[in-house]
Structure 1
Amino acid sequence: MAPPPSRPSGRTVHPELTAAVLWAVTAGAAPPAPAARLAERHLADGAPVPEQLHRELLAHLHRLGWPTVLAAARRLFARPRDPLLRSLVAAEDVADLLTRSRLAEPWLYIGHTTRADLRPGELTVRHLGHLGHRPLPAETLFVCALHLTAVATVTAQDVDAVLLTGDGRTLPPSAVHPTDAPAPIAAWRLRWTDTATAPTAPHPAERRLLGEVRRRIALDPAAPWRVGDTATSLGLSARTLQRALRTAGTTFQAELTAVRLDTAGHLLRRTDLPLADIAAAAGFTDHPHLTRCFRAHHGCTPSQFRRRSAEAAH
């Protein structure tokens, strides 16, 4: 009998992500690829799936065609077991989904990041390298399928997707074939019919204001921040600031919580401080308050977040 897979030394991938890809890869009549058999062993033994093995699975998934890629994404969101993934499908609207997915990025697509522009009935997403390598076309297609499925789940609407190339062309996801030269995919654009809950695209001045609010909070996240005091310091009324934040698809409390979670996450990844000290430094009432917010936004406890961050770094 072959020995069980050893613990990987590099970055690993969320097991439910790999399980969904593996399901799609092995659902056909063709025999499973070697990467699929190895991934099966990792998942069966409860071992982390190395990022490189997951990339090989995605390359095989890409060869099976866009419908199979989309089927893998739908499988993931149809049966989410991890609280992190359940929190995404429980989003109130697309703006809320983007906030939750930004916090979930370290576990959804390690090594990559996204930049999103939300407009009424339209979402444009750029898929960028973050920790070492540029995304391969197969990886970009799968993350596109994840976004498409998540938006369709949250809006209960049919969602169309087109890819945007670096030279300004658009093409359907099915047009990116693994046998062709890698397509210069710059972004993708999703469109759906329900625009009632999508926020109006923020004006550049409102985006700058949002950035200034985040910057000020980040300077002292433990301060007793209030929307009225913050608005006064910016030379605005509380109502004007709240209206500007709504136009940008957020609220003052959401931004305050997001900055405090970002601060806590940075301290968990970079220091050995006790959780009570991290909670105080980031502006949470106490350790239990930090844990509740982490569970709601990350789907895990601060201790689990710290452990996974350490595993991803080695």
Structure 2
Amino acid sequence: MPTAVREMARTVHPELAGAALAALLRHGSGPLGPAGRTVRRLLAAGAPVPEGVHRELLGALYGCGREAVSDAGRLLFERPRDPLLRALMTGDDMAALIARARPVELWLHVGHRTRTVLRPGELTVSHRRYLGGDPVSAESVFVCAVHTAAVAAVTGRPVEVALLAADGAVLAPDAPWRPGPAPAVRGWRLRWDDRVGPHGPARPSAAGASATGLPGAARELIAGEPAADWRLSAVAAALGVAPRTLQRSFTRAGTTFQAELAAVRLDVAGHLVRRTRLPLAEIAAAAGFTDHPHLTRRFREHHGCGPAEFRRRGAGGTE
């Protein structure tokens, strides 16, 4: 499928596009350009915003400068209507935020994904392709602004932002906005004061494994790359535990590694079926299923209908 057609088949969450449009209206000079007018019309009609159009909108917002993009991130969380977005702000700490962000990410945008590393007082993020091409700097800076706003809301602390190039090098603060060629933004590092009052450093924030338990941490890991050839041993190694320890954690939770692997892949496929118009064979491959018939069989077992009917139901259609 040609890239332009694929981007029209994928859509972004309307609150993402709405926050970007609101910031553009606030910071832009002169009338809205074609992308802004298109997004405003689509949102007013309750129609989905294709990812390609959203990218054009972010390009216009990016041209307004760093503060405009940062404002879009803040606007997203001012009065979110989607309960998934509201739930992001109810976590007690950063580990809980990271655990909740994984399923929300796919609901917001399916062209790209993020990989996060959480340490006390620091979150490092890489922004990567998923079903689309490599993100452009305007897209990465926007997602960075969203992350910054979320971290500030959860920690209650000012957040220091460093944008990163593909090799992990820190970019000069104004580098992405300088005229002429500049390294593409491929990630960011967020830092905040992790101390608590006069009593010195807080206890280090736990990784996702302690926030959600080992089974939850395993699910989050798999959801990041559902089509990978996951084995129990590989997941255990990534989580820093012995395979037997991970297996026992699944047993105590009343499940198995294979059952959780299948459930995550089915959940990812369900999001893609509902949120995109991509061919079902392509969704099957992206979610880790052998082929389209395999996806259809699992959908019927779990949902009582095939993915095509599941998609029609999501769009309000009937047989």
Question: When the two structures are aligned, how many residues end up with a matched partner?
Answer: 253
Sequence identity of aligned pairs in percent? 38
SS of alignment partner, residue 234 of structure 1: helix
Structure 2 partner of 1:199? 206
Alignment of 1:234 with 2:241, yes or no, is no
CA RMSD of aligned residues (A): 4.1
Higher relative contact order (Cα pairs below 8 Å, separated by 6+ residues) = 1
SS of alignment partner, residue 77 of structure 2: helix
Deviation at 1:79, TM superposition (A): 1.2
SS of alignment partner, residue 180 of structure 1: coil
Deviations 1:161-216 (A, max 9, x none): 101224553235543116331423342100011254612699xxxx9xx769988x
Structure 1 partner of 2:177? 177
Distance 1:306 1:176, change over 3 A: farther
Distance 1:237 1:129, change over 3 A: closer
Distance 1:75 1:173, change over 3 A: farther
* Between 21-30 and 177-186, the greater mean CA deviation after superposition: 177-186
Alignment of 1:13 with 2:24, yes or no, is no
What amino acid does structure 2 have at the position aligned with 1:103?
P
Deviation at 1:264, TM superposition (A): 3.4
Alignment of 1:120 with 2:120, yes or no, is yes
Distance 1:212 1:307, change over 3 A: closer
Q: Indicate conservation of the 8 Å contact 1:120/1:201, yes or no.
A: no
Deviations 1:7-37 (A, max 9, x none): x952111101001000011113422122111
What amino acid does structure 2 have at the position aligned with 1:15?
P
**Residues 180-259 of structure 1: matches in 2 within 5 Å?**
180-194=180-194, 195-196=202-203, 198-199=205-206, 234=244
Alignment of 1:149 with 2:173, yes or no, is no
Structure 2 partner of 1:246? none
Distance 1:73 1:211, change over 3 A: closer
Deviation at 1:267, TM superposition (A): 5.8
Structure 2 unpaired stretches of 5+: 1-6, 195-201, 223-229, 233-240, 274-283, 285-294, 305-309
What amino acid does structure 2 have at the position aligned with 1:164?
L
Distance 1:138 1:212, change over 3 A: closer
Q: Indicate conservation of the 8 Å contact 1:264/1:279, yes or no.
A: no
CA distance in 2, matches of 1:33, 1:116: 34
CA distance in 2, matches of 1:41, 1:212: 38
* Between 53-62 and 258-267, the greater mean CA deviation after superposition: 258-267
What amino acid does structure 2 have at the position aligned with 1:131?
L
Structure 2 partner of 1:278? 302
Structure 2 partner of 1:264? 266
Deviation at 1:105, TM superposition (A): 1.7
Structure 2 partner of 1:95? 95
What amino acid does structure 1 have at the position aligned with 2:52?
Q
Structure 2 partner of 1:48? 48
CA distance in 1, matches of 2:13, 2:56: 15
Deviation at 1:67, TM superposition (A): 0.7
Deviation at 1:219, TM superposition (A): 8.1
Distance 1:34 1:263, change over 3 A: closer
Deviations 1:268-300 (A, max 9, x none): 4554469783279xxxxxxxxxxxxxxxxxxxx
Q: Indicate conservation of the 8 Å contact 2:126/2:186, yes or no.
A: yes
Deviation at 1:154, TM superposition (A): 1.1
SS of alignment partner, residue 115 of structure 2: strand
Structure 1 partner of 2:236? none
Q: Indicate conservation of the 8 Å contact 1:214/1:259, yes or no.
A: no
Alignment of 1:160 with 2:164, yes or no, is no
Deviation at 1:58, TM superposition (A): 0.4
Q: Indicate conservation of the 8 Å contact 2:89/2:150, yes or no.
A: yes
CA distance in 1, matches of 2:313, 2:171: 40
CA distance in 1, matches of 2:63, 2:52: 17
Q: Indicate conservation of the 8 Å contact 1:161/1:172, yes or no.
A: no
Deviation at 1:90, TM superposition (A): 1.8
Structure 1 partner of 2:238? none
What amino acid does structure 1 have at the position aligned with 2:192?
W
